[in-house]
Structure 1
Amino acid sequence: MNIAFFLLPKSEVITATPHATLRQTLERMEYHRYTAVPILSDDGHYVGTVTEGDLLWFLKNSVHIGFENAHRHTLDEVPLRVKNKPVHIQAEMVDLIDLAKVQNFVPVVDDSDKFIGIVRRSEIIEYCAKQMNFKSASAAQS
């Protein structure tokens, strides 16, 4: 099966840039109810994934930074605790599944290493559940 089958295209993915402020990022994540978002460079390359935990730990450990001045600090100041790896659009399904086991979503890049979207772990699980139900129904009919 092709990874593209599961792809949520870039146009439908909420992302951030390294120049986004902490406040902008927090508000975007809160509004969309996401716990993590991909970070993209100005030229569209996947930089990493920022999580709520990254932001909270950064705020907790930065004595001079708080919610009141979060609009003055950018994402490029925040250390990312987990390195979510992207997968190439031509990668094998096993590569996608290996990453999805430990990531809520897997960023997908094209031949130029440009971000083209994500594959959500929930989509993979849903697909597998449907396949299992289909096989169970087929076996019951036999």
Structure 2
Amino acid sequence: MQAAQVMTFGAATIKPDASIREAARMMLDHRISGLPVVDDNGNLVGIVTEGDLLSAITGDRHRRRWLEFILDPAKSDVVRPVQPAQKVADVMTTQVITATEDTPVHEIVKKMKTNGIKRIPVVKDNKVVGIVSRADLLRGLALEAKMMPNATAEDFSLRDRVIEALSREGCGTKVAVNVLVQNGIVELRGAMPNADLARRLVETARNVPGVKEIVDRLVVVEAETART
């Protein structure tokens, strides 16, 4: 099994000159704990995690409490000073551990264990095409075990076709979708910024030849207006 077969397709990304407040908002909105950082050309230049944000302000490591404090210090009971204008570039990790679409899963597991990390961006020509988290690995391995010994190449081929169709629909660097396929049944997982996009992606996947059924597990998370 390779990265392309377990990764979450697409990834929410952020620019180096974005504020740490923007990074915190994206993590909360997308229900994730890390963001690949890309330049204006879409090239991967770093990664910023909740740990990086917490290290920037130190102290209490209660995740949501600190992320909400970064977003709106005035409404928090945290008294430690923070610099909301601090940029992602100031706190991100620049030496990013990456994988390619054909990286074997066992190598990804080894990279995570060796480097003590929870997620690995999947790149093609230094552009982020997906991300593999520990949860993705567990889902992929569970699916493989469930499918064995009756797994077919068609399941993986169908997954590739669904991902290609979603890419044409515009699912890429703004949202992340995990696509699982078994016996022609396609399951979509991910956090969507609005219901319209979620519906479009479901219909796009449904119209891919070979898809028998769609299991829609997309969650709509309406982005809140940035606080000042």
TM-score between both structures, scaled by the size of structure 1: 0.71
Matched position secondary structure for 2:32: coil
Which residue is equivalent to 2:40?
A: 42
Deviation per CA, 1:105-141: give whole Å up to 9, x if none. 210111x222111122212112323444666xxxxxx
Aligned residue type for 1:107: P
Matched position secondary structure for 2:117: coil
Aligned residue type for 1:129: A
For the residues of structure 1 that align with 2:108 and 2:130, how far apart are their CA atoms?
13
2:27 to 15, 18, 29: 29
**Do 1:20 and 1:74's aligned partners in 2 also have CA atoms closer than 8 Å?**
yes
Q: How far did 1:103 drift? A: 2.6
Matched position secondary structure for 1:42: coil
For the residues of structure 2 that align with 1:15 and 1:99, how far apart are their CA atoms?
21
- Segments of 5+ residues of structure 2 without an aligned counterpart are 60-79, 149-228
Which residue is equivalent to 2:135?
A: 122
Higher relative contact order (CA 8 A, sep 6+): 1
Q: Is the counterpart of residue 103 in structure 1 residue 101 in structure 2?
A: no
RMSD, aligned α-carbons: 2.8
Which residue is equivalent to 1:8?
A: 8
For the residues of structure 2 that align with 1:105 and 1:99, how far apart are their CA atoms?
10
Q: How far did 1:36 drift? A: 1.6
> Judging changes above 3 Å, is the alpha-carbon distance between structure 1 residues 26 and 98 closer, same or farther for their aligned structure 2 residues?
same
Q: How far did 1:87 drift? A: 0.7
Q: Is the counterpart of residue 92 in structure 1 residue 104 in structure 2?
A: yes
Which residue is equivalent to 1:51?
A: 49
TM-score between both structures, scaled by the size of structure 2: 0.47
Q: How far did 1:18 drift? A: 0.4
**Do 2:99 and 2:108's aligned partners in 1 also have CA atoms closer than 8 Å?**
yes
For the residues of structure 2 that align with 1:131 and 1:60, how far apart are their CA atoms?
41
Q: Is the counterpart of residue 73 in structure 1 residue 71 in structure 2?
A: no
Q: How many residues align?
A: 127
- Segments of 5+ residues of structure 1 without an aligned counterpart are 136-142
- Identity of paired residues, percent? 25
Which residue is equivalent to 2:16?
A: 18
